[in-house]
Structure 1
Amino acid sequence: MSDNPSARLEALRFLLRVQERDLERTRRWIAAEEGRAAEVAARRPPPPPPEWVAERGISANREPIAIHAGACSMARGKLQALTREQAVEALAVHGIRPCQLCRPDTDLGLL
């Protein structure tokens, strides 16, 4: 750079304009990529529901209050996905009630 302070200042302002332009271009690229990613996500089918779910209560400890088949329309609120083994244990060992609509105990072979 020159020893002239006004020339140095002008060069720094020019550099600033170039960097701001580059930054704005990078922001546009990011926005375009986010848009493409959102389009891809919107086209992706939702994951299948879990095979079994535990419906949790509204108390502070949120203990399970019912076991449902994963696609049961009565399963609402706070749900926790369960494996087959966890659902059997919840029903047989812990005595959590089965949903009266989807009857997971029947599907799990507990009746």
Structure 2
Amino acid sequence: MTGLPPDLLPPDLSRLEALRAWHAMWVGLLDDRITAVRQGQEQERRGRERRPPPADWIVQHGIGKGPLMIHTKTSPTADQCWARVGAERCAPATREQALAALSEGGAEACQICRPDTALGLLG
């Protein structure tokens, strides 16, 4: 290597070898971290690809009770509705589960997002 200042590196072999070992250690640590980050990103990508689509129906449960209210996420007002209920007491549901909860489970249809209309129970 030419063009480097003459005092940039120490002149003796022992210090040069120590510097090389120190830098090799850091390159190894960086390589390990790069590999770990790439693996994490790949796992996240695979997880996103394998994740099922979000449910169109939400069952809100009462405290110590069964289904309390059914919500839909297909309505234009679903975001407003979704924000009003506690997410910790909500669970995704299939169309069949939502219909069963409304017809047999004693759950009510939300008056904001109107899942009964979206499910075809009302015209």
- TM class by smaller structure: 0.5 to 0.7
Determine the C-alpha separation between the residues in 2 that align with 1:48 and 1:85.
16
What fraction of aligned residue pairs are identical, expressed as a percent? 36
Indicate conservation of the 8 Å contact 1:53/1:68, yes or no: yes
2:111 counterpart residue number: 100
Pairwise CA distance, 1:84: 0.8
Residue 110 of structure 1 pairs with residue 118 of structure 2: no
Pairwise CA distance, 1:30: 2.8
Number of residue-to-residue matches in the alignment: 87
Deviations 1:5-58 (A, max 9, x none): xxxxxxxxxxxx69x9275244332355268x28x86xx8xx86421111123x
Q: What letter matches 1:66 in structure 2?
A: M
Distance 1:32 1:96, change over 3 A: closer
Distance 1:62 1:34, change over 3 A: farther
Residue 54 of structure 1 pairs with residue 26 of structure 2: no
The 5-angstrom pairing of residues 49-88 of structure 1 reads 49-57=54-62, 59=63, 61=64, 63-71=66-74, 72-73=78-79, 74-75=81-82, 76=85, 77=87, 78-88=89-99
Pairwise CA distance, 1:79: 2.0
User: Structure 1: which 4+ aligned runs deviate by more than 3 Å?
Assistant: none
**TM norm structure 2:** 0.52
